Amino acid sequence: MSNRVIPQDWHRYTAVEHATWDTLFARQVSMLATRVTPAFLEGLEVLRMSKPGIPDFEELSERLVRATGWSVVAVPGLIPDADFYDHLANRRFVAGRFIRPPEQLDYLQEPDVFHDVFGHVPLLVNPVFADYMQAYGRGGLRSMQYGSIHRLARLYWYTVEFGLIREGGGLKLYGAGIVSSNSESLFALDSDSPHRLGFDLKRVMQTKYRIDDFQQTYFVIDSFEDLLETTLETDFAPLYRELDSLPEIEISRILPSDRVITHGTQKYANDKRLNTSTSEDA
């Protein structure tokens, strides 16, 4: 296989590395039980991810292929956008193979195997979310000809990484950046600080995001079906042209047109004096 795929070398993980996975896994599973979308918990079950130790990508892929035709492949950290999109368009999820050191359980400079596999892979068992991820990959390849990668990246950020979903009369987590983080799993649902706004594709693609701390705004989808439909039915070419002439929206702004679910205090960001500018392309 091409496109920068490397072997996972599963047999090379140490006992300490497997134990780090187990610690993170146990902590997140108990925290998420009532907080995450049931589709995520079902994915954990179908993929038998409670098996101790860092998952073997081949074993994981066997189950995932049976469920939705997706597989998991290892890559050496960040890869070029074109390769990333091409993998998604072909139902391959790319994952880092290293795991964070035990003394840095909550600090991540770049996504490790716990973020990538625990955070992202369970939802790929859901047929609708699986289709959305593939549609995203195809859209990514097309976005390159319009110079609009950064806009489409915002869609990924505010859905796949930091999305919330309305479910069972409340809000649940589904974004991988949240569900793989102990502290943000609490913050995203419980804190008075962030805004929670109804998802709107164009609005999201205008909105900056923060890569260095908790999000200041979360976008809430009504269902995975809605997200997939909106993405498939939108003609992105004219939308990108329109967005070129529209202003960027700062991360803590609320607009009159927003469907406000929670108007946050922004206390967390203000107390930490988080800068409102971001470096999305980092």
Q: List residues near Fe ion by CB under 5 A.
A: 176
Minimum distance, C-beta of residue 116 to Fe ion, in the bound complex (Å):
6
Q: What is the largest CA-CA distance in the chain?
A: 55
Task: For Cα atoms 112, 83, 105, give the angle at the middle one, nearest 5 degrees.
Answer: 5
Minimum distance, C-beta of residue 267 to Fe ion, in the bound complex (Å):
27
Smaller CB separation from Fe ion, 117 or 228: 117
Minimum distance, C-beta of residue 144 to Fe ion, in the bound complex (Å):
20
Smaller CB separation from Fe ion, 89 or 94: 94
Which residue, judged by CB position, is nearest to Fe ion in the bound state? Answer: 176
Number of H helices, E strands in the chain: 13, 7
The residues carrying an active-site annotation are 115, 120, 161, 180
Q: Which residues pair with 127 in a beta bridge?
A: none
Locus of tokens 């896994």: 25
CA atoms within 13 A on the CB side of 260: 12
Smaller CB separation from Fe ion, 88 or 264: 88
Count of CB atoms within 10 A of residue 238's CB? 9
Minimum distance, C-beta of residue 206 to Fe ion, in the bound complex (Å):
22
Count of CB atoms within 10 A of residue 130's CB? 21
Smaller CB separation from Fe ion, 52 or 77: 77
Minimum distance, C-beta of residue 237 to Fe ion, in the bound complex (Å):
27
Smaller CB separation from Fe ion, 136 or 240: 136
For strands 92-95 and 260-262, give the pairing.
Answer: unpaired
Nearest to 228 by CA among 59, 68, 17, 13: 68
What gap in Å lies between CA 258 and CA 196, rounded to an integer?
Answer: 10
Q: Residue 193 carries which DSSP code?
A: S
